[in-house]
Structure 1
Amino acid sequence: MALPDHHLTQGERRIRSFQPHWKRLIVPFLALVLIVAASGAGLFLIPGDWEFALYGRIAVIAVALILLTVWAFVPYLQWKNTGYVLTTHRFTISTGVLNKSTDEIPMTKVNTVSSDQTFAERMLGCGTLTVESAGEKGQIELKDIPHIQDVRAELFRLVEDASDGEVDGR
């Protein structure tokens, strides 16, 4: 997904790969449904005997395509092209559709791992993961992480193993 196997270092093992939680797609999906319904209604309501009916229908379709692109397709592509990879040596965050941005946090540089969940996020099983490191960025806040408690526990275990000089509990 975000980190191909051939980019792993010797002895490094992938623990978990995941994307942001699907809840990020709720608003784009609702936008898709509303835009399709509104454009369908607009096409239906344009009178057939109107002399500019063809231009009106073309305008409705053009506006619908623009809105679908901005409010549904682009957010979907952003969600699909955001990936998180947790390995025995690092935590990688990869984002971007046309341009790719990758942040890597070595396990030895992680100071604090914490999670935060609202009531709705607890119901959905996701949350915000905050990773504080000794690097340039200091603190990285990752929103909508699925299975937040499992990810936090694995990340914390890997940080502890890295600070003890162990790999995979050895």
Structure 2
Amino acid sequence: MAYPDSLLSDGELVVVHKHPHWKTLVAPVLAFLLLVGAGLYLAGLVSDLSWHVAGWIGLGALGGLLVVWLSLVPLVRWRTTHFVVTTQRVMYREGVLSRSGIDIPMSRINSVRFQHGLIDRVFGCGTLVIESASDEPIEFDDIPHVEQVHSLLYREVNDNPDDDFYPHAGHQPRRS
């Protein structure tokens, strides 16, 4: 799903648009499977009782609430979290009912680094750390293909013609 063009400035293009890595959905999927299995087992136990209809209704209501809380909410949260690199800035948006976000202009980024442990390397994700003009570095966890995003973001920062460190980026030295 492309990031909405209406939220971009004139001439701004999306370079990378990512959701958190799918590994963040492993626990909600396992919770769903366990809840369904436990619900079916308990429904079988309740069916032998004289008040089985009320038991099924109670189990269904409790199971439904648990499925929404432990599986559906994390799925929607994952789907509504966006890490976007454009030609002008890095954007991070998250939230369902109340949204929050941060924008870091490319010209304000001082350094970009990544880190990932063994599990993250196996899954192909990691943490992207961006140091900008602010006091502390900002960490973005569970970025898929973090090394590629790091490399691409580094190129975007260094190719920026408005960068103070490269005032003559378009100027080629003359060869003698």
Alignment partner of 1:74 is 2:73: yes
Quote the Cα distance in structure 1 between the aligned partners of 2:153 and 2:74.
28
Q: For each residue in 1:72-131, what CA deviation from the matched residue of structure 2 results, as whole angstroms up to 9, or x when unmatched?
A: 000001000001111111000010111221211101111121111111111111001111
Contact 1:2 1:94 in 2 (8 A): no
Quote the Cα distance in structure 2 between the aligned partners of 1:166 and 1:3.
32
Contact 1:2 1:84 in 2 (8 A): no
Q: State the TM-score, normalizing by the size of structure 1.
A: 0.90
Structure 1 residue aligned with 2:153? 155
Percent of aligned pairs sharing the same letter: 36
User: 1:7 deviation in Å?
Assistant: 2.8
Tell me the amino acid that sits aligned with residue 70 of structure 2.
W
Give runs of ≥4 in structure 1 deviating > 4 Å: none
User: 1:11 deviation in Å?
Assistant: 2.7
Q: Secondary structure at the match of 1:129?
A: strand
Structure 2 residue aligned with 1:121? 120
Comparing 25-34 with 122-131, greater Cα deviation is found at: 122-131
Structure 2 residue aligned with 1:96? 95
Alignment partner of 1:47 is 2:47: yes
Distance of aligned partners of 1:34 and 1:71 in 2 relative to their CA distance in 1, 3 Å threshold: same
Quote the Cα distance in structure 2 between the aligned partners of 1:30 and 1:62.
20
Distance of aligned partners of 1:153 and 1:61 in 2 relative to their CA distance in 1, 3 Å threshold: same
Tell me the amino acid that sits aligned with residue 38 of structure 2.
A
Equivalences for residues 139-154 of structure 1 within 5 A:
139-154=137-152
Q: Secondary structure at the match of 2:158?
A: helix
Q: Secondary structure at the match of 1:12?
A: coil
* Higher CA-based Rg: 2
Structure 1 residue aligned with 2:36? 36
Q: Secondary structure at the match of 2:47?
A: coil
Distance of aligned partners of 1:166 and 1:152 in 2 relative to their CA distance in 1, 3 Å threshold: farther
Quote the Cα distance in structure 2 between the aligned partners of 1:156 and 1:141.
15
Q: Where does structure 1 lack aligned partners over 5 or more consecutive residues?
A: none
When the two chains are superposed, the root-mean-square deviation of aligned CA atoms in Å is 2.2
Distance of aligned partners of 1:47 and 1:6 in 2 relative to their CA distance in 1, 3 Å threshold: closer
Q: Secondary structure at the match of 2:98?
A: coil
Aligned residues: 167
Q: Where does structure 2 lack aligned partners over 5 or more consecutive residues?
A: 170-176
User: 1:3 deviation in Å?
Assistant: 4.2
Q: For each residue in 1:46-69, what CA deviation from the matched residue of structure 2 results, as whole angstroms up to 9, or x when unmatched?
A: 134x33211111111111111111
Structure 1 residue aligned with 2:136? 138
Distance of aligned partners of 1:65 and 1:73 in 2 relative to their CA distance in 1, 3 Å threshold: same
Q: State the TM-score, normalizing by the size of structure 2.
A: 0.87
